[in-house]
A and B are shown apart, each in its own frame.
Chain A
Amino acid sequence: MAKRTTTAKASPKPAAPVAAAASDAERTLHMSLLRSMLLQRRFEERCAEAYAIGRIGGFCHLYIGQEAVSTGTLSHLRPDDYMITTYRDHGQALARGLTPRSVMAELFGRVDGCAGGKGGSMHMFDKATGFLGGHGIVGGHLPIATGVGFAIKYRGGDQVICCLFGEAAVNNGAFHESLNMAALWKLPVIFIIENNRYGMGTAVERASAINDIYQRASSYDMHRGVVDGQDVLAVRAAIDEAVTRARTEQSPTLLEMRTYRFMGHSMSDAVSGTYRSKAELDEYLKRDPIALLRAHMEERGTLTEQVMQELDTELKAIVQDAWDFAEASPEPPLEALMENVYVDTTSDTGNAAGAWS
């Protein structure tokens, strides 16, 4: 993906019909990607169930169909890198390594949730893994990501921040302000558009003056590319290139991941009907990211039916455990209401030497 050019959509699949047998490394990679995606899927299927019976309240946006983006992206990050995202954040939190227990407990509004029950579905946070939040204002977290990139550069580190957002955000001023600053100051930020074709019920063509929205980066002379967001290996390859550039040249990239959400915008939205047809949905369901990886793995000999079944059983048990844990976790005590409005500390010592914590 050279600057100012389009990346091919192709995934790095073996070119020759008689490819070499899969190495252990390939097998391990495939299994970890499959595991990550399938965990998100099984987890969110139970979220839908929990929502239906009132365990989860408020707005709840499922990620089902888009798992290749989170998994492909986050499988590349180091533990000390950062990531920030929107309200559609359960899958990404899991892919970043937050425990299913802490995410489910947050969804249930319980003290053991990753934000103590104060964030909810849209606001997952975890300092330990550099998960800087699910954010509820469309476009609002892009300037924040840019600031994290600024801080990385300020401290002279080689970390990166991945910032995920829906395609509707590219029409908002925060997007443009952020891309301009990131390009102007050469910041290690990877802006990742999850183009699932709809911002609620508004198709991208009805909202954006250009349809190849990654080309918006051309206004900022920024590296850019478009990626098959259903192909986890293609996502990985694109992220690899962007991360390397961010680490070594500290320059930003805009990637458009073409994906699709298989569920409604939120729990109150029908899966298809007013703004998209059942036929369209069915067409996209054929490109389920998990099924695609599974087919590829079977072709490469890295997955058998039995292993798949065992994995599925294991993940379902993990999700059940998360549910049970969340259910058993207490609701926050009423004292928590007025806690965390302010901290009562000040920086009394300063840090003249610039020793970064």
Chain B
Amino acid sequence: MAIITYRDALNQALREEMQRDARVFLMGEEVGVYQGAYKVSKGLLQEFGEMRVVDTPITELGFAGVGVGAAMVGLRPVIEFMTWNFALLALDQVVNAAAKMLYMSGGQFNIPMVFRGPNGAALQLGAQHSQAWESWLAHIPGLKVVAPGTPYDAKGLLKAAIRDDNPVCVLEGEMLYNNKGEVPDGEYIVPLGVADLKRKGEHATIVTWGKQVLVAMAAADQLAKDGITIDVVDLRSIRPLDERAIIDSVRKTNRCVVLEEGWYFAGVGAQITDLVQRECFDDLDSPVIRVTQADAPMPYAKGLEKAAKADMPKTIAAVRRALYLD
């Protein structure tokens, strides 16, 4: 096991999959000469050349569609969005083209491609650069959506996404790229749609994904000091959703907190809450509590931004409420 960064884990996944399959190429803004806006594609241009590591103009709708077209005729594109905020300009291609082509064509054209890039807020980037898009994307039949929280999962999920014959959205985290973690030396895959119990406990379940996994783990550390132990269910994939993992945990702990980075209204947490009330109605000792970003655009001012985010103190408070401790 090597200890590497989340960034390097993604880089390894790209390199290995490009070596393994000549149909795989990487396309996006600054992925080549600049080596990636966040250096995820470092060294790939040098290794694979300009045809397979393609710098694009700032033309999100255009190059997302180029990926769809290339996928329709047999290539396996990896389309990098500098951040998912900019992917909004490309949503027509993601939603109307990539997600629907298989269905509209009666099964003739599947779209084996990956859309990837950082999702959610970093620090003080303001309203337009600080948004979490998973509920938008996961809403769409035909798309798969994953959000790795650790280097191990980042590498394994990206590899699985590239091999999948459907369009997969990989939501990375700007604040995660420098994080380090253990990654096996040999080849491995993290299957799509399989959650991971990142921590075992008895008193409550926190369901989360992506960068909030770290928040949940930190909250669980704190709560442990008061003797409260937590199951942290890291979904890893939002769609397909590992319903079994959520149900099993909540049936054991009888209390459920859903922690997500994005907004409250119609967030992924609402979907999970629906599942829990349906499947675990008789198991629940308290209502499901959701921890989300404040229902407002992200502010710039430090204090306001902190107040807006779904952070560790809010998560701890939610667990304590679920346990009727406060």
Chain A interface residues (CB < 8 Å from chain B): 82, 84, 113-119, 123, 125-127, 132-133, 135-137, 140-155, 173-174, 177-178, 180-181, 184, 339-343, 345-348, 350-354, 356-357
Contacts and interface: CB of A to CB of B under 8 A. Distances in A.
A244 to B, nearest CB: 21
Contacts of B70: 147-148, 150-151, 154
B150 interface: no
Interface in B14-33: 17, 19-23, 25
Nearest to A336: B106
B20 to A, nearest CB: 4
A140 B73 contact: no
A155 B73 CA distance: 11
B163 interface: yes
* Of listed A127, A145, A150, residue having the most chain B CB within 10 A: A150
Contact of A115 (B23, B51, B106, B142): B106
Contact of B74 (A142, A173, A181, A356): A356
A170 B102 CA distance: 27
The 9 closest A-B pairs by CB, nearest first: A143-B65, A147-B69, A116-B106, A177-B62, A354-B22, A125-B105, A147-B66, A115-B106, A144-B69
Given A125-B106, A127-B108, A143-B64, A351 B22 contact: yes
B106 A151 contact: no
B315 to A, nearest CB: 33
A352 B106 contact: no
A277 to B, nearest CB: 35
Nearest to B17: A350
A293 to B, nearest CB: 32
Nearest to B73: A151
Interface of B: 17, 19-23, 25, 51, 56-57, 59, 61-77, 92-93, 96-97, 101-110, 112, 141-142, 144, 160, 163-166
Contacts, number: 169
Contacts of A154: 25, 51, 70, 75
Contacts of B104: 115, 118-119, 123, 125, 133
B239 to A, nearest CB: 10
A352 B21 contact: yes
Contact of A343 (B59, B92, B110, B160): B110
A145 B102 contact: no
A82 B73 contact: yes
Contacts of A132: 69, 72-73, 109
Nearest to A341: B141
A352 B59 contact: no
A140 B59 CA distance: 14
Contacts of A184: 57
B105 A143 contact: no
Contacts of A346: 160, 163-165
* Of listed A343, A346, A352, A354, residue having the most chain B CB within 10 A: A346
A341 B74 CA distance: 19
A353 B23 CA distance: 9
Contact of B62 (A146, A153, A343): A146
A347 B162 CA distance: 8
Contacts of A340: 102-103, 105-107
A351 B76 CA distance: 11
* Of listed B62, B63, B64, B71, residue having the most chain A CB within 10 A: B62
Contacts of B102: 340-343
5 contacts: A117-B106, A147-B69, A148-B69, A177-B62, A340-B106
A132 B66 CA distance: 14
Contacts of A115: 104-106, 108
Contacts of B110: 343, 345
B96 A137 contact: yes
A354 B23 contact: yes
Contacts of B112: 347
Contact of A114 (B63, B106, B163, B165): B106
Contact of A146 (B19, B69, B141): B69
Contacts of B165: 343, 345-347
* Of listed A136, A146, A152, A347, residue having the most chain B CB within 10 A: A347
Contact of A133 (B62, B101, B164): B101
Contacts of B142: 341-342
Nearest to B68: A144
Contacts of B141: 341
Given A342-B166, A350-B21, A353-B22, A147 B105 contact: no
B65 A118 contact: no
B69 A143 contact: yes
Given A127-B109, A339-B107, A143 B66 contact: yes
Given A342-B166, A346-B165, A351-B21, A147 B107 contact: no
